[in-house]
Amino acid sequence: MKRVSFRDTGLKYTLNPFDEPIIRTEPGETLILEVEDACSGQIRRKGDRRDRSRIPYGNPIVGPIYVRNARKGGTITVSIEGIKPTTGQGVTYFSEFNEGYIVSPPIFRYMKVHLPRQPRICKIRDEQVYFTDSIVIPYQPMIGTIGVAPSLETESISSSVLPGRHGGNMDLPDIAPASTVFLPVFHEGAMLYVGDVHAVQGDGEISGTAVEMPAEVRIKTGLLDEESTRWPRIETENEVMSVATTTAGRTLEDAIRTAFMELAIWIEEKHKLNRFDALMLCSQVGRIRIGNLWTVAARIEKRYLDAIKT
């Protein structure tokens, strides 16, 4: 079992195929990654603030991780085996980024106002997240940013803040312990990046930040050489889901349509139900998960797929 810490490798803020791999791993090998929180560790105690003049970028990630024998056109799997906080706390906060996330037009700048900058530090203990002394939320850890270096034929080098076909900042609460993420491979070795761990997050992450925490993440990589994946997929104990994202010219509505069509194709490939029947089935029992406001996962319970007669 290999260990990698951001303390040794430094923090990255892009998913870049030209970065030198920080480690090379065999398919089936378990890695333990120590990652920093979304504000690069700037907020640890009362009085700290998110200072973008010192660290302008958000969502630091660890990588790239080179997965041996991963080839362009194939698929890697990343099984999430465990997530634990390393400081016993997380933080949620507002900064300039959050103002643009909540309202796309520059209303805050126009009105010469700002969201309050006082962060909220949330203790994590006994599988609980203490939003306040009286508001206690179950600890539901997840990985906000997980992805591979994107294809330069269709996308530029990606910021760790943005999602896309390569994965990235999807902020989907289902990317949690006991889940497996399927990612398309665009470069030899896949060039996997991981970071932006949350102690808990609601659908839409509507304020722009979850309870962000530094963490130790245990993952296991795998290969599906013969399986081509156009968009990320996720499998949990009870569901499978296909992910799509917004981008220039693709709205959230388009992302929802794309995610369900990709899910129908996956059902056809894996369960031999033709894609048109699969799409009709999704129309009856499919569900939608919104990660951040750019990411959607179309999902279906496995029990319906198990009932398909081949």
Of 230, 250, 273, which closes a domain?
Answer: 230
pTM of the prediction? 0.94
Q: Judge if 259 and 218 occupy the same domain.
A: no
- CATH code assigned at 99: 2.60.120.580
Alpha-carbon gap, residue 218 to 190, rounded angstroms: 18
Q: What is the pLDDT of residue 112?
A: 87
**Which pLDDT does position 168 carry in this prediction?**
95
- What is the C-alpha separation between 157 and 193, in angstroms, rounded? 13
> Residue for token digits 């203490």?
130
Residue 267's domain is classified under what CATH number?
3.10.28.20
Q: Are 20 and 132 contained in the same domain?
A: yes
Same domain, 175 and 283: no
User: Do residues 248 and 100 both lie within one domain?
Assistant: no
Which of these, 198, 217, 193, lies nearest to 208 by C-alpha position? 198
Q: Which residues, including other chains, have CB under 8 Å from residue 153's CB and lie 6 or more apart?
A: none
Whether residues 57 and 188 share a domain: the answer is yes
Domain count, the chain: 2
Label residues 167-194 b or e (16+ Cβ within 10 Å = b).
bbbbbbbbbbbebbbbbbbbbebbbbbb
In tens digits, the chain (310 residues) has pLDDT values of: 899 999 999 999 999 999 999 999 999 999 999 999 999 999 999 999 999 889 989 999 999 999 999 999 999 999 999 999 999 999 999 988 898 888 888 888 888 888 899 999 999 999 999 999 999 999 999 999 999 999 987 676 789 999 999 999 999 999 999 999 999 999 999 999 999 999 999 999 999 999 999 999 999 999 997 778 899 999 999 999 999 999 877 899 999 999 999 999 999 999 999 999 999 999 999 999 999 999 999 999 999 999 987 6
Last residue of a domain, one of 230, 265, 280: 230
Q: Which of 258, 248, 250 is nearest to 297 (CA)?
A: 258
Claim to verify: residue 121 and residue 54 sit in the same structural domain: yes
- Give the C-alpha separation, 261 to 284, whole Å: 14
Among 205, 230, 255, which residue terminates a domain?
230
φ/ψ of residue 290, rounded to 5: -100, 125
Residues 134 and 246 in one domain: no
Identify whether the C-beta of residue 186 lies closer than 8 Å to the C-beta of residue 206.
no
CA dihedral for 11, 17, 19, 21, sign (positive or negative): positive
CA distance 176 to 162: 19
Measured between alpha carbons, how far is residue 124 from residues 29, 121, 133, 136, 194 in Å? Answer: 29, 10, 12, 10, 22
Which residues span the domain enclosing 252? 238-306
- Please check whether residues 27 and 163 belong to one and the same domain: yes
Q: Are residues 138 and 155 in the same domain?
A: yes
Q: Are residues 8 and 109 in the same domain?
A: yes
Same domain for 10 and 97, yes or no, is: yes
Does residue 127 sit in the same domain as residue 181? yes
Q: How far apart are CA 1 and CA 26, in angstroms?
A: 11
